Copies of this chain bind each other. A is one copy, B any other.
C-alpha cells in the first residue's frame, strides 16, 4: 500500500518498448472443496503455463494481506496508485466510465430509476429493470435542473442506471445514499456529513423531489434513488508518472472510467468478446506503448458462484495468448485485480497469481500459472502497487535511483 508514484515519476523514461497488462477481473479463486482445485487450476491453460515457464511469477495483494478491495481501488493499485490515498467513489467512477467531461469540484452520484407506490414507498428498486434505450429516453426529462446556482446533469449508463453530476461552488461529496436498499420503504432523505456536503444534499433532495414530479405517471420508472456520492478525485495521469502513452481495452464502463481518470485512451467499439478485445489490441498495437486489457467475465461468474463458468473464461483468454505473442510485446503482465472465488460468491482478500514475462525478468522454476504454483515464484508476495514499477523496469523504462 505504499505510494511509488513520486519515485516512478522521477525515474521513468519514454522508450520504444511495449507493455501489455492482461487483467482477469476476480481471477483469484479458492479450491472448490478441500483437496480440490481452484478455478485457475481447473482451467486448461497451456499458453499461460508456457508464459509462466518463460517468465517470473508471484502472488500480489491489491491493498495488503487480509483486505478485500472494490474494483476501483484494486485497479488503481494495479496501475501503481496507493488505493487508500486515491479513493474513488462509485459515482465518480460511473461518470468517468461514460466519458462525462468533469470539471474541478464536480460531485457525482449513481442513480437508479425506481418504482414508487401511491404512498411513496419503493416497490421496485430497479423500475422493472428497464432497458438502456428506455433509460436514455427518460434521463433528458430530469436533466438540466438548477438549484441555488448548482447545475445538475443526468446521463444514462446501462439498464435502469444513470449518473448525476452536481456542478457549483463549494460542494462536498460526503453524502448518504437515498436508496433504502429494501422495498416497502420510502427513499431516504440525502444528508451531508459536513457543511459542503450538506449543500450538495440540499440540492440532491430538491433534484429528487422535482424528478418525482416530472416522472409522475411514467410507471414503472416514476422515481429515482441515488447513492455513491463523491467528489471527482484529481488523479495524476500515467503519462506524467510513467511517460507512457497508455490504452484501455475493456468492455464494462467502470473499468473504462478508472482508465480515463488516469489518462488512458479508452477504446470504445467492437469489444464484446475476449477475441474482439484482442482484435482491438492488434489494431491499436502500433499506437501505444502500454495496453491494459480487461477481462470481465471471470469476476461475473465468480460472483455467481459458477466455478466452471469462471474456469471456462480463463480458457477463453488462454486461447488468445498466441495472438498476443505474435505482436511481440517486450513485457507481458498477467494477473487479476482481486480474487472472486466461486466458493465465496464475492470479492475476497486472497492474493492474486501474477506473472511477468520479458527478456530480463529473471525466470523462476514455476511452469504453471496458478495460485499455488505462483506462491513458490521468484517474485514472492508483493503488493499490486509494485507491479507497474516491475513492468516498467522489465521494459527498461526506468532509470536507476541515486548515483
Task: With CB as the reference atom, state the residue of chain B lying closest to A28.
Answer: B362
Instruction: State whether A64 and B386 are in contact (beta carbons under 8 Å apart), knowing that A38-B362, A378-B375, A380-B59 are contacts in the complex.
Output: yes
List of B residues within 8 angstroms of A70 by Cβ: 400-403
Q: How many residues of A contact B (CB 8 A)?
A: 69
Which listed residue, B1, B31, B381, B400, touches A69 by the CB 8 Å rule? B400
Which of A189-197, A315-323, A389-397 has 4 or more CB atoms under 8 Å from chain B? A389-397
Closest Cβ–Cβ distance, residue A291 to chain B (whole Å): 19
Task: With CB as the reference atom, state the residue of chain B lying closest to A6.
Answer: B84
Instruction: State whether A68 and B393 are in contact (beta carbons under 8 Å apart), knowing that A31-B362, A365-B372, A401-B63 are contacts in the complex.
Output: yes
A299 within 8 A of B: no
A371 within 8 A of B: yes
Q: Cβ of A389 and Cβ of B65 under 8 Å apart?
A: yes
A275 within 8 A of B: no
Q: Cβ of B372 and Cβ of A378 under 8 Å apart?
A: yes
A147 within 8 A of B: no
A18 within 8 A of B: no
Closest Cβ–Cβ distance, residue A336 to chain B (whole Å): 14
Closest Cβ–Cβ distance, residue A254 to chain B (whole Å): 8
Please measure, in the bound complex, the distance between the C-alpha atom of A350 and the C-alpha atom of B396, giving whole angstroms. Answer: 12
Closest Cβ–Cβ distance, residue A92 to chain B (whole Å): 9
Instruction: State whether A349 and B68 are in contact (beta carbons under 8 Å apart), knowing that A83-B401, A83-B402, A403-B93 are contacts in the complex.
Output: no
Number of copies: 2
Which of A117-125, A136-144, A260-268, A340-348 has 4 or more CB atoms under 8 Å from chain B? A340-348
Which listed residue, B7, B34, B362, B376, touches A54 by the CB 8 Å rule? B34
A198 within 8 A of B: no
Closest Cβ–Cβ distance, residue A69 to chain B (whole Å): 5
Which listed residue, B90, B363, B380, touches A403 by the CB 8 Å rule? B90
A99 within 8 A of B: no
List of B residues within 8 angstroms of A343 by Cβ: 360
Q: Cβ of A401 and Cβ of B7 under 8 Å apart?
A: no
A residues 1-41 near B (Cβ < 8 Å) are 1-2, 4, 7, 11, 29-31, 34-35, 38
List of B residues within 8 angstroms of A348 by Cβ: 360, 393
Q: Cβ of A360 and Cβ of B375 under 8 Å apart?
A: no
Task: With CB as the reference atom, state the residue of chain B lying closest to A403.
Answer: B90
Q: List 10 A-B contacts (CB under 8 A).
A: A31-B362, A38-B362, A67-B401, A71-B403, A73-B401, A88-B402, A343-B360, A344-B360, A350-B362, A380-B381
